[in-house]
Amino acid sequence: MKKIILTSFSFCILFSHYIMAQSYSGAESVEFDFANNRYLVSNTSTSQIIARAANGTLSVFATLAAAPYGIEIVGDTLYCCTGGSLRGVNLNTGIQIFSKVIATGQVFLNGITQDPSGNLYLTGFSSKKVYRFNTATRQSNIFVNNTTTTPNGIIYDAYDGINPRLVLAGWGSPATVKSISLADSTLTTLTTTTFGNIDGIAKGKNGNFYIACWSNNSIQRYDSTFANAPTAMVTSGISSPADIYYNQLTDTLAVPFGTNVNFYFFGTLTAQKSLLSNQEINIYPNPSNGIIQISSKLNQKAAINLYELGTGKLVYSENTANLNENLLLDVSNLNFTAGLYLIELISNDGVISRKKLTFE
């Protein structure tokens, strides 16, 4: 797939919104569900996935047989790391649709990320391996046999548009940040930090990376090269920050920790804009006869995927499209079965939109 380069934006913290609720217990990983305009949070103490609605209401979305740690959405499925297994939960029903053992023994699957082709990459905290899982075939393999240091958070990065990589955050002290080549799975140390025990890692705009550090309870920001000293973005109000998530549309960093999830606004966002806003991209008409209009204020490139809801089958994929005010997508010649589908847009920095569409 052709890789995408984004226009840079300057950053500044404008507003921080603090959320505390008794429903969070062992909050570990956060993911934004674009199609349903909500955040999903893995609750390790109760083996549940908690949903945070647009109005801030918390509810139980799913209950699993084992504690969920890293979570990642692909199409209409929420993938959850549970021990040595990967579980899939349908986003529309909250029902578990499959469970697959990735590895046995001392594994502890923890971090998870996806590439634009639908492959998942999972870190084995105890096994010191990285596993790859194909969401189409549901087959898995060992991608990195020995990470040398204990792997924790992981994120996909298109990088220079030619050499895509995974960026891996390490546990221990001093903690390292490494890159993994998607071409041949080789490891390269990007930086040996002055921090200890990095949990989550997320990619924001302008090519910046954010890491969650346990040693001083902070969120640090690095540029894409990791050659320069980091900038401290959050230094108070969190304790043992876990698997963080960056919402590209609202410039929002979500930080789970214990019984709380904090949200921090970055970029040019104002406090009046919704924390869960998806205003920048409009996809219509809905229902559709196969002609789809995508109107965006982002003026950037994105990959487009179209999934059949229920089966999760990928029925259409376009490597790169120019998002602008009037992008026309014609898939009427593909002879779709009438029903409910999900359209997904993925930029260089991650997923920027998911929306349900009905085809007549």
Region 287-312 average pLDDT: 82
Of the candidate ranges 11-20, 173-182, 315-324, 326-335, the one whose mean pLDDT is the lowest: 11-20
Confidence of residue 5 (pLDDT cuts 50, 70, 90): very low
The model's confidence at residue 325, banded by pLDDT at 50, 70 and 90, is low
Residue 206 in this model has a pLDDT that exceeds 50 = yes
Q: For position 267, what pLDDT does the model report?
A: 60
Average pLDDT of the residues in 69-75: 95
User: Can you tell me the distance from the alpha carbon of 153 to that of 189, in angstroms, rounded to the nearest whole number?
Assistant: 15
Confidence at residue 41, expressed as pLDDT on a 0 to 100 scale: 98
Average pLDDT of the segment spanning 218-233: 96
C-alpha to C-alpha distances, 341 to 207, 278, 308, 312, nearest whole angstrom = 31, 18, 5, 9
pLDDT over threshold 60, residue 271: no
Q: 119-128, 132-141, 161-170: which range is least confident on average?
A: 161-170
Q: Which of 16-30, 162-176, 282-296 is predicted with the least confidence, judged by mean pLDDT? A: 16-30
User: What number of other Cβ atoms are within 10 A of residue 36's Cβ?
Assistant: 18
Q: Which of 263, 218, 209, 254 is nearest to 239 (CA)?
A: 218
Average pLDDT of the segment spanning 145-164: 91
Q: Does the pLDDT at position 14 exceed 80?
A: no
Instruction: Decide if pLDDT at 73 tops 60.
Output: yes
3-state secondary structure (DSSP) of residue 60: strand
Joined together, the tokens standing for residue 59 give: 């509810």
Does pLDDT of 9 surpass 50? no
- Tell me: pLDDT of 225 over 60: yes
* Cβ proximity of 191 and 226 under 8 Å: yes
**φ, ψ dihedrals at 334, nearest 5°:** -90, 0
Kindly report the pTM of this predicted structure.
0.83
* Mean predicted confidence (pLDDT) in 101-120: 94
Domains detected in the chain: 15-265 (2.120.10.30), 281-359 (2.60.40.3080)
Q: What is the mean pLDDT of residues 90-99?
A: 95
Question: Which residue in 314, 290, 306 sits closest to 342, CA to CA?
Answer: 306
Q: What per-residue confidence (pLDDT) applies to 237?
A: 93
Res. 201 pLDDT band, cuts 50 70 90? very high
CB 30, CB 326: distance < 8 Å = no
**270: pLDDT strictly greater than 50:** no
Q: Is the peptide bond before 287 cis (omega within 30 degrees of 0)?
A: yes
DSSP state, residue 337: P
pLDDT band at 27 (very low <50, low <70, confident <90, very high): very high
Give residue 309's pLDDT.
79
Give the model's pLDDT for residue 4.
30
Q: How far, CA to CA in Å, does 199 sit from each of 39, 153, 196?
A: 19, 6, 9
pLDDT tens track for 249-266: 788 899 999 999 999 987
